[in-house]
A and B are shown apart, each in its own frame.
Chain A
């Protein structure tokens, strides 16, 4: 839903005020299934198919970080949710970059700007873009799960997929969409 464009855009590394904390066993908040990604990937080269999937997932996370800046400009009533979602993608972007580098490959740089799936002109279209961001991220992480036999990497990818699925449901809820959940997040 978001594709890179050569036009210049805002910096992606602006500090954020809130960080998504691990929910552990807590079930009382929407962040219950959102956790901080592991920052110390195991040593060793990545298999080619796993590497390709991870690089696609990194591209999705980089696009998400950029696109949430656009969402924030139009959905100001949802500033807290946007900040939490964006910081979650920032953490995951950095953890994914670290894994790729640790795996002996080169992590692609983010694009300066991205072409988004909807013309964002108001809060409703911004919330639609937020749903598209999470749909893209879920799809990318699902591909990673299906591209490796490494249980640890699958777990890392599953956390990314689950986080995206939870955020997607939350954005649907805020938008008044129904149903708010889907049976197979990441399947497009």
Chain B
């Protein structure tokens, strides 16, 4: 029963309220609730700050596209002269990204570098030269979007690098059109 304004709180009501609050606080402090009993299992994989670095995704994409460019140059000799400079650009970009990762995470290895250095399967590409060029252009467009997105939220130093790479990828699309 609620007390009317100005009415003194009875001793019994005060003790009941204090007891309820104390019980709830005790449950909270011990991590228990009315609906659970056990602690959640500890994670088996713990992410380190280096693995959380968002540059890893950009390195992985660049490395994958570099492999696809290598395969395209091997499969499409007629367009090799046009594709080779683009491959050189992507290699230079990969080198710069890995250098930036190393600068920011001294002593760590980029996740993409560790997992993707030796490839175990062939890179699949379309059959015709036109389709191969289209696939390479599609890769450039995909990477351009990825680097553009990364530019918006990175540090100033990285944003300048990402923006420059995104612009380079825009020019790749243009020369392949």
List the B side residues contacting A169 at CB < 8 Å: 171, 174-175
A-B contact count (CB 8 A): 114
Q: Any chain A CB within 8 A of the CB of B156?
A: yes
Which candidate, B82-90, B99-107, B108-116, is the interface stretch facing chain A?
B82-90
Name the residue of chain B whose CB is nearest to the CB of A143.
B160
List the A side residues contacting B161 at CB < 8 Å: 184
What number of B residues sit within 8 Å (CB to CB) of A? Answer: 33
Q: Any chain B CB within 8 A of the CB of A145?
A: yes
Please determine whether A146 and B156 come into contact, CB atoms closer than 8 angstroms: yes
List the B side residues contacting A164 at CB < 8 Å: 167
Please report whether the interface of chain B is mostly helix, strand, loop or mixed according to DSSP.
helix
Q: Any chain A CB within 8 A of the CB of B170?
A: yes
Interfacial residues of chain B within 123-177, with CB under 8 A of chain A in the complex? 137, 141, 144, 148, 151-153, 156-157, 159-161, 163-168, 170-175, 177
Partner of B164, one of A29, A30, A181, A184: A184
What number of A residues sit within 8 Å (CB to CB) of B? Answer: 38
Please determine whether B163 and A178 come into contact, CB atoms closer than 8 angstroms: no
List the A side residues contacting B171 at CB < 8 Å: 33, 162, 165-166, 168-169, 180-182, 185
Please determine whether A184 and B96 come into contact, CB atoms closer than 8 angstroms: yes
Please determine whether B175 and A158 come into contact, CB atoms closer than 8 angstroms: no
Query: Contacts A158-B148, A165-B171 known; A185 to B177 CB distance under 8 Å?
Result: no
Chain A, 130-174, contact with B by CB distance < 8 Å: what is the 0/1 string?
A: 000000001000110111110100110110011011101110010
Minimum C-beta distance from A176 to chain B (A):
13
Q: Any chain A CB within 8 A of the CB of B92?
A: yes
Query: Contacts A147-B156, A180-B85, A183-B92 known; A158 to B166 CB distance under 8 Å?
Result: yes
Partner of A165, one of B92, B137, B152, B167: B167
Q: Any chain A CB within 8 A of the CB of B56?
A: no
List the B side residues contacting A154 at CB < 8 Å: 151-152, 159, 163
Please determine whether B167 and A138 come into contact, CB atoms closer than 8 angstroms: yes
Minimum C-beta distance from A182 to chain B (A):
7
Please determine whether B141 and A27 come into contact, CB atoms closer than 8 angstroms: yes
Name the residue of chain A whose CB is nearest to the CB of B154.
A154
A180 to B81 Cα, complex, angstroms: 11
Name the residue of chain B whose CB is nearest to the CB of A148.
B156
Query: Contacts A146-B159, A155-B152, A178-B85 known; A161 to B164 CB distance under 8 Å?
Result: yes
List the A side residues contacting B160 at CB < 8 Å: 142-143, 145-146, 186
Q: Any chain B CB within 8 A of the CB of A38?
A: no
List the B side residues contacting A52 at CB < 8 Å: none
Cβ contacts A to B, 19 pairs, < 8 Å: A27-B141, A27-B173, A33-B144, A142-B163, A143-B160, A146-B157, A151-B152, A151-B153, A154-B159, A155-B151, A158-B166, A165-B168, A166-B171, A166-B174, A169-B175, A173-B175, A181-B171, A182-B168, A185-B171
Q: Which 7 A-B pairs have the closest CB atoms?
A: A179-B85, A33-B170, A146-B160, A165-B167, A169-B171, A183-B92, A151-B152
